[in-house]
Structure 1
Protein backbone atom coordinates (compact mmCIF):
# COMPACT_ATOMS: atom_id res chain seq x y z
CA UNK A 1 0.00 0.00 0.00
CA UNK A 2 1.41 3.37 -1.04
CA UNK A 3 0.80 6.86 0.34
CA UNK A 4 -0.18 10.06 -1.41
CA UNK A 5 -1.41 13.56 -0.61
CA UNK A 6 -4.50 15.22 -2.05
CA UNK A 7 -2.98 18.52 -3.14
CA UNK A 8 -6.10 20.45 -2.11
CA UNK A 9 -4.54 20.11 1.37
CA UNK A 10 -1.65 22.35 0.28
CA UNK A 11 -3.61 24.86 -1.80
CA UNK A 12 -2.78 27.80 0.47
CA UNK A 13 0.98 27.47 -0.05
CA UNK A 14 2.47 30.36 -1.96
CA UNK A 15 4.28 28.05 -4.34
CA UNK A 16 3.89 26.79 -7.90
CA UNK A 17 2.50 23.29 -8.28
CA UNK A 18 5.81 21.68 -9.34
CA UNK A 19 7.43 22.95 -6.12
CA UNK A 20 4.52 21.60 -4.08
CA UNK A 21 4.99 18.19 -5.71
CA UNK A 22 8.64 18.26 -4.68
CA UNK A 23 7.70 19.12 -1.09
CA UNK A 24 5.38 16.14 -0.96
CA UNK A 25 8.19 13.89 -2.18
CA UNK A 26 10.60 15.34 0.39
CA UNK A 27 8.08 14.55 3.14
CA UNK A 28 8.32 10.88 2.16
CA UNK A 29 5.08 10.28 0.31
CA UNK A 30 4.89 8.03 -2.74
CA UNK A 31 2.48 10.13 -4.77
CA UNK A 32 0.12 13.06 -5.21
CA UNK A 33 -3.52 13.34 -6.13
CA UNK A 34 -4.22 16.40 -8.24
CA UNK A 35 -6.94 18.95 -7.61
CA UNK A 36 -6.24 20.91 -10.79
CA UNK A 37 -3.03 21.49 -12.72
CA UNK A 38 -2.69 25.15 -13.56
CA UNK A 39 -1.03 26.11 -16.82
CA UNK A 40 2.42 24.54 -16.70
CA UNK A 41 1.71 20.86 -17.20
CA UNK A 42 5.19 20.15 -18.55
CA UNK A 43 6.80 21.51 -15.37
CA UNK A 44 4.49 19.30 -13.30
CA UNK A 45 5.52 16.31 -15.40
CA UNK A 46 9.17 17.20 -14.83
CA UNK A 47 8.63 17.42 -11.07
CA UNK A 48 7.06 13.96 -11.05
CA UNK A 49 9.90 12.57 -13.11
CA UNK A 50 12.61 14.26 -11.05
CA UNK A 51 11.22 13.09 -7.70
CA UNK A 52 10.10 9.64 -8.82
CA UNK A 53 6.69 9.96 -7.18
CA UNK A 54 3.48 8.96 -8.92
CA UNK A 55 0.18 10.66 -9.63
CA UNK A 56 -2.30 7.80 -9.43
CA UNK A 57 -5.46 9.89 -9.40
CA UNK A 58 -6.89 13.35 -9.94
CA UNK A 59 -10.05 15.15 -8.89
CA UNK A 60 -11.91 16.48 -11.93
CA UNK A 61 -15.36 18.07 -11.90
CA UNK A 62 -18.11 16.12 -13.59
CA UNK A 63 -18.94 19.01 -15.92
CA UNK A 64 -15.42 18.92 -17.38
CA UNK A 65 -15.63 15.17 -17.83
CA UNK A 66 -19.00 15.42 -19.52
CA UNK A 67 -18.04 18.28 -21.84
CA UNK A 68 -14.67 16.95 -23.06
CA UNK A 69 -13.73 13.60 -21.55
CA UNK A 70 -11.03 12.94 -24.14
CA UNK A 71 -9.16 16.11 -23.18
CA UNK A 72 -9.18 15.21 -19.48
CA UNK A 73 -8.03 11.66 -20.17
CA UNK A 74 -5.23 12.89 -22.44
CA UNK A 75 -4.05 15.62 -20.06
CA UNK A 76 -3.86 13.45 -16.98
CA UNK A 77 -2.79 10.35 -18.86
CA UNK A 78 0.34 12.21 -19.91
CA UNK A 79 1.19 12.48 -16.20
CA UNK A 80 0.69 8.79 -15.57
CA UNK A 81 -2.69 9.29 -13.93
CA UNK A 82 -5.13 6.47 -14.62
CA UNK A 83 -7.98 7.34 -12.25
CA UNK A 84 -10.12 10.46 -12.63
CA UNK A 85 -12.36 11.06 -9.64
CA UNK A 86 -15.50 13.17 -9.43
CA UNK A 87 -14.85 15.03 -6.16
CA UNK A 88 -18.35 16.27 -5.34
CA UNK A 89 -21.98 16.27 -6.32
CA UNK A 90 -24.62 18.31 -4.50
CA UNK A 91 -26.78 16.71 -1.78
CA UNK A 92 -29.80 16.76 -4.08
CA UNK A 93 -28.16 14.04 -6.14
CA UNK A 94 -28.43 11.60 -3.21
CA UNK A 95 -31.64 12.80 -1.58
CA UNK A 96 -33.79 9.75 -2.35
CA UNK A 97 -33.97 6.60 -4.45
CA UNK A 98 -34.86 8.40 -7.68
CA UNK A 99 -32.05 10.92 -7.23
CA UNK A 100 -29.54 8.17 -6.48
CA UNK A 101 -30.59 6.21 -9.56
CA UNK A 102 -30.25 9.31 -11.75
CA UNK A 103 -26.82 9.98 -10.29
CA UNK A 104 -25.74 6.42 -10.98
CA UNK A 105 -26.88 6.74 -14.58
CA UNK A 106 -25.04 10.04 -14.98
CA UNK A 107 -21.80 8.64 -13.61
CA UNK A 108 -22.19 5.49 -15.66
CA UNK A 109 -22.51 7.56 -18.82
CA UNK A 110 -19.24 9.36 -18.03
CA UNK A 111 -17.55 6.06 -17.18
CA UNK A 112 -18.11 4.97 -20.77
CA UNK A 113 -15.61 7.63 -21.87
CA UNK A 114 -13.34 7.74 -18.83
CA UNK A 115 -11.76 4.46 -17.82
CA UNK A 116 -10.96 4.38 -14.14
CA UNK A 117 -13.69 6.84 -13.18
CA UNK A 118 -14.24 7.18 -9.44
CA UNK A 119 -16.43 9.10 -7.02
CA UNK A 120 -15.28 10.76 -3.77
CA UNK A 121 -17.81 11.15 -0.99
CA UNK A 122 -18.55 13.78 1.63
CA UNK A 123 -21.16 13.41 4.39
CA UNK A 124 -24.38 13.99 2.47
CA UNK A 125 -24.21 10.80 0.40
CA UNK A 126 -25.06 8.74 3.50
CA UNK A 127 -28.81 9.25 3.32
CA UNK A 128 -30.55 5.92 3.88
CA UNK A 129 -32.41 4.82 0.76
CA UNK A 130 -34.44 1.63 0.83
CA UNK A 131 -32.22 -0.02 3.43
CA UNK A 132 -28.84 1.17 2.18
CA UNK A 133 -26.85 4.35 1.91
CA UNK A 134 -27.50 6.39 -1.24
CA UNK A 135 -23.76 6.25 -1.92
CA UNK A 136 -23.79 2.46 -1.90
CA UNK A 137 -26.82 2.39 -4.20
CA UNK A 138 -25.00 4.63 -6.67
CA UNK A 139 -21.81 2.59 -6.58
CA UNK A 140 -23.73 -0.64 -7.03
CA UNK A 141 -25.51 0.67 -10.12
CA UNK A 142 -22.68 2.56 -11.84
CA UNK A 143 -19.41 1.30 -13.28
CA UNK A 144 -17.33 3.53 -11.03
CA UNK A 145 -14.72 3.07 -8.34
CA UNK A 146 -15.39 4.32 -4.83
CA UNK A 147 -12.79 6.69 -3.48
CA UNK A 148 -14.02 6.40 0.08
CA UNK A 149 -13.26 9.35 2.32
CA UNK A 150 -13.03 7.69 5.72
CA UNK A 151 -13.30 10.92 7.69
CA UNK A 152 -16.45 12.17 6.03
CA UNK A 153 -18.02 8.71 6.22
CA UNK A 154 -17.36 8.68 9.96
CA UNK A 155 -18.74 12.21 10.32
CA UNK A 156 -21.93 11.03 8.63
CA UNK A 157 -22.38 8.31 11.22
CA UNK A 158 -21.23 5.44 9.00
CA UNK A 159 -18.55 2.85 9.79
CA UNK A 160 -15.75 3.48 7.25
CA UNK A 161 -13.92 0.23 8.01
CA UNK A 162 -17.06 -1.77 7.25
CA UNK A 163 -17.54 0.21 4.06
CA UNK A 164 -14.02 -0.74 2.96
CA UNK A 165 -14.80 -4.39 3.67
CA UNK A 166 -18.11 -4.30 1.79
CA UNK A 167 -16.74 -2.50 -1.26
CA UNK A 168 -13.22 -3.91 -1.42
CA UNK A 169 -13.62 -4.67 -5.11
CA UNK A 170 -14.38 -1.00 -5.86
CA UNK A 171 -11.72 0.73 -3.75
CA UNK A 172 -8.23 1.23 -5.15
CA UNK A 173 -7.71 4.69 -3.66
CA UNK A 174 -8.78 5.53 -0.09
CA UNK A 175 -8.87 8.97 1.51
CA UNK A 176 -7.54 9.17 5.06
CA UNK A 177 -9.04 12.18 6.75
CA UNK A 178 -9.41 12.60 10.50
CA UNK A 179 -12.29 14.59 11.97
CA UNK A 180 -13.66 15.65 15.31
CA UNK A 181 -17.37 14.93 15.43
CA UNK A 182 -20.06 16.47 17.59
CA UNK A 183 -22.28 13.98 19.38
CA UNK A 184 -25.21 16.35 18.96
CA UNK A 185 -24.63 16.64 15.22
CA UNK A 186 -23.47 13.23 13.92
CA UNK A 187 -23.62 14.38 10.31
CA UNK A 188 -20.94 16.96 10.82
CA UNK A 189 -17.21 16.83 11.41
CA UNK A 190 -14.29 19.25 11.69
CA UNK A 191 -11.13 18.08 9.88
CA UNK A 192 -7.98 17.79 12.01
CA UNK A 193 -4.51 16.29 11.64
CA UNK A 194 -4.27 12.50 11.47
CA UNK A 195 -4.54 11.01 14.93
CA UNK A 196 -6.13 14.07 16.51
CA UNK A 197 -9.75 13.25 15.75
CA UNK A 198 -12.12 10.40 16.46
CA UNK A 199 -12.31 8.69 13.07
CA UNK A 200 -11.33 4.99 13.43
CA UNK A 201 -8.40 5.29 11.08
CA UNK A 202 -6.42 2.32 12.39
CA UNK A 203 -9.40 0.05 11.78
CA UNK A 204 -9.78 1.60 8.33
CA UNK A 205 -6.13 0.88 7.53
CA UNK A 206 -6.50 -2.71 8.73
CA UNK A 207 -9.49 -3.15 6.44
CA UNK A 208 -7.62 -1.48 3.58
CA UNK A 209 -4.68 -3.85 3.95
CA UNK A 210 -7.05 -6.83 3.98
CA UNK A 211 -8.76 -5.46 0.86
CA UNK A 212 -5.42 -4.88 -0.93
CA UNK A 213 -6.16 -1.18 -1.43
CA UNK A 214 -3.36 0.25 -3.56
CA UNK A 215 -3.23 3.85 -2.33
CA UNK A 216 -4.10 5.76 0.83
CA UNK A 217 -4.36 9.50 0.29
CA UNK A 218 -3.96 11.97 3.15
CA UNK A 219 -6.30 14.96 3.01
CA UNK A 220 -6.94 17.83 5.40
CA UNK A 221 -9.54 20.28 4.15
CA UNK A 222 -8.41 23.30 6.15
CA UNK A 223 -5.05 22.96 7.92
CA UNK A 224 -3.73 25.91 9.94
CA UNK A 225 -0.20 25.10 8.74
CA UNK A 226 -0.26 22.89 5.61
CA UNK A 227 3.41 21.91 5.75
CA UNK A 228 3.20 21.01 9.43
CA UNK A 229 0.11 18.90 8.72
CA UNK A 230 1.98 17.23 5.88
CA UNK A 231 4.90 16.32 8.15
CA UNK A 232 2.59 15.09 10.92
CA UNK A 233 0.71 12.92 8.45
CA UNK A 234 3.97 11.45 7.15
CA UNK A 235 5.03 10.58 10.70
CA UNK A 236 1.63 9.11 11.60
CA UNK A 237 1.68 6.92 8.51
CA UNK A 238 5.31 5.88 9.06
CA UNK A 239 4.44 4.71 12.57
CA UNK A 240 1.98 2.33 10.90
CA UNK A 241 4.49 0.98 8.43
CA UNK A 242 3.50 3.20 5.50
Structure 2
Protein backbone atom coordinates (compact mmCIF):
# COMPACT_ATOMS: atom_id res chain seq x y z
CA UNK A 1 0.00 0.00 0.00
CA UNK A 2 1.17 3.51 -0.80
CA UNK A 3 1.33 6.14 1.93
CA UNK A 4 -1.33 8.86 1.72
CA UNK A 5 -0.71 12.54 1.05
CA UNK A 6 -2.47 15.57 -0.37
CA UNK A 7 -1.28 18.17 -2.86
CA UNK A 8 -1.92 21.49 -1.16
CA UNK A 9 -3.00 23.08 -4.45
CA UNK A 10 -6.33 21.41 -3.68
CA UNK A 11 -6.78 23.81 -0.73
CA UNK A 12 -5.31 26.95 -2.28
CA UNK A 13 -8.57 28.90 -2.03
CA UNK A 14 -9.32 28.06 1.60
CA UNK A 15 -9.12 31.24 3.68
CA UNK A 16 -7.15 29.72 6.52
CA UNK A 17 -3.47 29.94 7.52
CA UNK A 18 -1.40 27.14 6.06
CA UNK A 19 -0.36 25.91 9.49
CA UNK A 20 -4.02 25.56 10.46
CA UNK A 21 -4.74 23.65 7.24
CA UNK A 22 -1.94 21.25 8.11
CA UNK A 23 -3.68 20.51 11.41
CA UNK A 24 -6.91 19.77 9.52
CA UNK A 25 -5.02 17.50 7.11
CA UNK A 26 -3.43 15.59 9.97
CA UNK A 27 -6.78 15.23 11.72
CA UNK A 28 -8.30 13.84 8.50
CA UNK A 29 -5.79 10.99 8.53
CA UNK A 30 -3.23 11.86 5.89
CA UNK A 31 0.38 10.84 6.38
CA UNK A 32 2.04 13.53 4.27
CA UNK A 33 1.71 16.71 2.25
CA UNK A 34 3.03 17.97 -1.05
CA UNK A 35 3.66 21.70 -1.03
CA UNK A 36 2.62 24.12 -3.75
CA UNK A 37 3.37 27.82 -4.31
CA UNK A 38 1.25 29.07 -1.40
CA UNK A 39 3.92 28.01 1.08
CA UNK A 40 6.02 31.02 0.05
CA UNK A 41 3.36 33.33 1.51
CA UNK A 42 3.15 31.47 4.82
CA UNK A 43 4.89 31.85 8.18
CA UNK A 44 7.62 29.26 7.68
CA UNK A 45 8.27 28.81 11.40
CA UNK A 46 4.57 28.19 12.02
CA UNK A 47 4.42 25.73 9.14
CA UNK A 48 7.41 23.72 10.37
CA UNK A 49 5.94 23.70 13.88
CA UNK A 50 2.64 22.39 12.50
CA UNK A 51 4.47 19.64 10.63
CA UNK A 52 6.19 18.60 13.83
CA UNK A 53 2.97 18.68 15.86
CA UNK A 54 0.89 16.72 13.35
CA UNK A 55 3.59 14.25 12.37
CA UNK A 56 2.91 14.97 8.70
CA UNK A 57 5.78 14.16 6.38
CA UNK A 58 6.90 16.54 3.66
CA UNK A 59 6.60 14.25 0.66
CA UNK A 60 7.69 16.73 -2.00
CA UNK A 61 7.18 20.24 -3.32
CA UNK A 62 6.08 21.50 -6.71
CA UNK A 63 8.94 23.74 -7.86
CA UNK A 64 9.23 25.43 -11.23
CA UNK A 65 12.17 24.41 -13.40
CA UNK A 66 13.20 28.06 -13.66
CA UNK A 67 13.63 28.28 -9.88
CA UNK A 68 15.88 25.23 -9.97
CA UNK A 69 17.97 26.48 -12.87
CA UNK A 70 18.14 30.18 -11.97
CA UNK A 71 17.85 30.33 -8.18
CA UNK A 72 19.16 26.98 -7.02
CA UNK A 73 20.80 27.92 -3.72
CA UNK A 74 17.87 29.91 -2.33
CA UNK A 75 15.34 27.35 -3.54
CA UNK A 76 17.15 24.46 -1.91
CA UNK A 77 17.66 26.40 1.31
CA UNK A 78 13.97 27.34 1.53
CA UNK A 79 12.69 23.81 1.13
CA UNK A 80 15.33 22.27 3.37
CA UNK A 81 13.66 24.21 6.20
CA UNK A 82 10.57 22.11 5.46
CA UNK A 83 12.61 18.89 5.49
CA UNK A 84 11.88 18.49 1.79
CA UNK A 85 14.20 16.23 -0.21
CA UNK A 86 12.13 15.84 -3.38
CA UNK A 87 11.17 18.49 -5.95
CA UNK A 88 8.57 18.00 -8.67
CA UNK A 89 8.48 20.14 -11.81
CA UNK A 90 4.71 20.66 -12.09
CA UNK A 91 4.37 21.95 -15.64
CA UNK A 92 6.18 22.60 -18.89
CA UNK A 93 4.42 24.16 -21.88
CA UNK A 94 3.04 21.98 -24.67
CA UNK A 95 5.68 23.31 -27.08
CA UNK A 96 8.28 21.42 -25.05
CA UNK A 97 6.69 18.18 -26.26
CA UNK A 98 5.56 19.02 -29.81
CA UNK A 99 8.34 17.15 -31.66
CA UNK A 100 10.96 14.52 -30.96
CA UNK A 101 13.65 17.19 -31.02
CA UNK A 102 11.71 19.22 -28.46
CA UNK A 103 11.23 16.16 -26.24
CA UNK A 104 14.93 15.31 -26.44
CA UNK A 105 15.82 18.86 -25.43
CA UNK A 106 13.35 18.72 -22.54
CA UNK A 107 14.74 15.35 -21.44
CA UNK A 108 18.28 16.71 -21.42
CA UNK A 109 17.25 19.78 -19.47
CA UNK A 110 15.34 17.82 -16.84
CA UNK A 111 18.05 15.18 -16.50
CA UNK A 112 20.68 17.86 -15.95
CA UNK A 113 18.52 19.49 -13.29
CA UNK A 114 18.01 16.11 -11.63
CA UNK A 115 21.74 15.46 -11.56
CA UNK A 116 22.43 18.90 -10.08
CA UNK A 117 19.86 18.33 -7.34
CA UNK A 118 21.08 14.80 -6.67
CA UNK A 119 24.46 16.26 -5.73
CA UNK A 120 22.60 18.15 -2.99
CA UNK A 121 20.64 15.13 -1.80
CA UNK A 122 17.38 16.08 -3.52
CA UNK A 123 15.38 13.94 -5.94
CA UNK A 124 13.61 15.43 -8.97
CA UNK A 125 10.45 14.22 -10.68
CA UNK A 126 8.33 15.53 -13.55
CA UNK A 127 4.55 15.81 -13.18
CA UNK A 128 2.42 15.39 -16.30
CA UNK A 129 -0.87 16.87 -17.44
CA UNK A 130 -2.72 15.72 -20.56
CA UNK A 131 -0.73 17.56 -23.23
CA UNK A 132 2.24 15.23 -22.70
CA UNK A 133 0.09 12.50 -24.23
CA UNK A 134 -0.05 14.12 -27.64
CA UNK A 135 1.49 11.70 -30.12
CA UNK A 136 4.95 12.41 -31.52
CA UNK A 137 5.63 10.15 -34.48
CA UNK A 138 3.06 7.75 -33.07
CA UNK A 139 4.36 7.67 -29.49
CA UNK A 140 3.01 9.69 -26.55
CA UNK A 141 5.41 12.48 -25.69
CA UNK A 142 5.61 11.45 -22.01
CA UNK A 143 6.81 8.00 -23.00
CA UNK A 144 9.43 9.57 -25.27
CA UNK A 145 10.50 11.75 -22.35
CA UNK A 146 11.03 8.64 -20.24
CA UNK A 147 12.98 6.96 -23.05
CA UNK A 148 15.23 9.96 -23.71
CA UNK A 149 15.89 10.88 -20.06
CA UNK A 150 17.87 9.06 -17.44
CA UNK A 151 17.76 8.45 -13.72
CA UNK A 152 17.99 10.25 -11.35
CA UNK A 153 15.02 11.95 -13.06
CA UNK A 154 11.79 10.35 -11.88
CA UNK A 155 8.10 10.84 -12.61
CA UNK A 156 5.09 11.85 -10.60
CA UNK A 157 2.42 10.25 -12.75
CA UNK A 158 -0.92 12.03 -12.60
CA UNK A 159 -3.28 9.13 -13.20
CA UNK A 160 -6.24 11.30 -14.09
CA UNK A 161 -4.44 13.55 -16.56
CA UNK A 162 -2.83 10.58 -18.33
CA UNK A 163 -6.31 9.14 -18.82
CA UNK A 164 -7.75 12.44 -20.05
CA UNK A 165 -4.88 12.64 -22.52
CA UNK A 166 -5.87 9.30 -23.99
CA UNK A 167 -3.12 7.28 -22.36
CA UNK A 168 -3.08 4.30 -20.03
CA UNK A 169 -1.54 5.11 -16.63
CA UNK A 170 -1.31 1.42 -15.76
CA UNK A 171 0.79 0.74 -18.85
CA UNK A 172 3.15 3.58 -17.92
CA UNK A 173 3.54 2.23 -14.38
CA UNK A 174 4.22 -1.26 -15.70
CA UNK A 175 7.01 0.02 -17.95
CA UNK A 176 8.50 2.83 -15.89
CA UNK A 177 7.42 2.03 -12.34
CA UNK A 178 10.99 1.89 -11.07
CA UNK A 179 11.22 5.65 -11.79
CA UNK A 180 7.83 6.52 -10.26
CA UNK A 181 8.06 7.10 -6.49
CA UNK A 182 4.72 8.88 -6.32
CA UNK A 183 1.48 9.33 -8.20
CA UNK A 184 -1.29 11.91 -8.23
CA UNK A 185 -4.74 10.48 -7.73
CA UNK A 186 -7.00 12.90 -9.59
CA UNK A 187 -9.94 12.67 -11.96
CA UNK A 188 -11.66 14.73 -14.66
CA UNK A 189 -14.17 14.57 -17.48
CA UNK A 190 -12.94 13.90 -21.00
CA UNK A 191 -13.31 17.65 -21.63
CA UNK A 192 -10.73 18.33 -18.88
CA UNK A 193 -13.26 19.44 -16.24
CA UNK A 194 -11.90 18.26 -12.85
CA UNK A 195 -14.12 15.92 -10.86
CA UNK A 196 -14.02 14.07 -7.58
CA UNK A 197 -12.11 10.82 -7.98
CA UNK A 198 -14.49 8.21 -9.35
CA UNK A 199 -16.76 10.71 -11.07
CA UNK A 200 -14.62 11.18 -14.18
CA UNK A 201 -12.69 9.04 -16.65
CA UNK A 202 -10.24 7.41 -14.23
CA UNK A 203 -10.48 3.65 -13.74
CA UNK A 204 -9.89 3.90 -9.99
CA UNK A 205 -9.92 0.19 -9.16
CA UNK A 206 -7.50 -0.75 -11.94
CA UNK A 207 -5.12 2.11 -11.16
CA UNK A 208 -5.17 1.39 -7.43
CA UNK A 209 -4.23 -2.23 -8.11
CA UNK A 210 -1.35 -1.14 -10.36
CA UNK A 211 -0.06 1.33 -7.76
CA UNK A 212 -0.07 -1.39 -5.11
CA UNK A 213 1.67 -3.87 -7.39
CA UNK A 214 4.29 -1.31 -8.43
CA UNK A 215 5.19 -0.56 -4.80
CA UNK A 216 4.67 3.17 -5.33
CA UNK A 217 5.75 4.98 -2.17
CA UNK A 218 3.17 7.80 -2.10
CA UNK A 219 -0.34 8.25 -3.49
CA UNK A 220 -1.18 11.96 -3.46
CA UNK A 221 -4.75 13.18 -3.65
CA UNK A 222 -5.51 16.24 -5.78
CA UNK A 223 -8.59 18.04 -7.02
CA UNK A 224 -7.86 21.10 -9.18
CA UNK A 225 -11.26 22.77 -8.77
CA UNK A 226 -13.22 21.33 -5.82
CA UNK A 227 -16.59 22.90 -5.02
CA UNK A 228 -15.91 22.34 -1.32
CA UNK A 229 -12.14 22.00 -0.85
CA UNK A 230 -12.28 20.85 2.77
CA UNK A 231 -14.91 18.20 2.05
CA UNK A 232 -12.87 17.06 -0.95
CA UNK A 233 -9.77 16.84 1.23
CA UNK A 234 -11.57 14.72 3.83
CA UNK A 235 -13.05 12.45 1.17
CA UNK A 236 -9.66 12.00 -0.41
CA UNK A 237 -8.49 9.95 2.57
CA UNK A 238 -11.12 7.32 1.82
CA UNK A 239 -10.14 7.29 -1.85
CA UNK A 240 -6.49 6.70 -1.05
CA UNK A 241 -7.28 3.69 1.14
CA UNK A 242 -7.65 1.75 -2.12
CA UNK A 243 -4.08 2.54 -3.13
- Structure 2 length as normaliser, TM-score? 0.92
Equivalent position of 1:108 in the other structure: 111
Question: Which of 185, 192, 195 is matched with 1:192 structurally?
Answer: 195
Structure 2 portions without partners, runs of 5+: none
Paired residues of 1:164 and 1:204 also in contact (CA < 8 A) = no
Counterparts in 2 of 1:5-154, with a 5 A limit?
A: 5-36=6-37, 37=39, 38-115=41-118, 116-142=123-149, 143=151, 144-154=153-163
Higher mean displacement: 208-217 or 106-115: 106-115
| 8 A Cα contact 1:70 1:113, kept in partner | no
8 Å CA contact 1:150–1:201 kept in 2: the answer is no
Aligned to 1:114, what secondary structure does the other structure show?
helix
- Inter-partner Cα distance in structure 2 for 1:119 and 1:85: 5
Shift of 1:131: 4.0
Distance 2:239 2:106 in 1: 36
- Per-residue deviation, 1:209: 0.9
Alignment of 1:173-184 (within 5 A): 173-181=182-190
Task: After the TM superposition, list the runs of 4 or more consecutive aligned residues in structure 1 that deviate by more than 4 angstroms.
Answer: none
| Pairs aligned (count) | 234
> How many angstroms apart in 2 are the aligned matches of 1:118 and 1:124?
17
TM-score (norm 1): 0.92
Structure 1: segments with no counterpart, 5+ residues: 182-187
What RMSD, in angstroms, separates the aligned Cα atoms of the two structures?
A: 1.4
Distance 1:189 1:165 in 2: 25
Counterparts of 2:92 and 2:17, CA distance in 1: 28
**Separation in structure 1 between the aligned mates of residue 77 and residue 148 of structure 2, nearest angstrom:** 27
Determine the C-alpha separation between the residues in 1 that align with 2:42 and 2:238. 32
1:118-163 residue CA offsets vs partner (Å, 9 max, x unmatched)? 1000010112224422112212322311100000000011011111
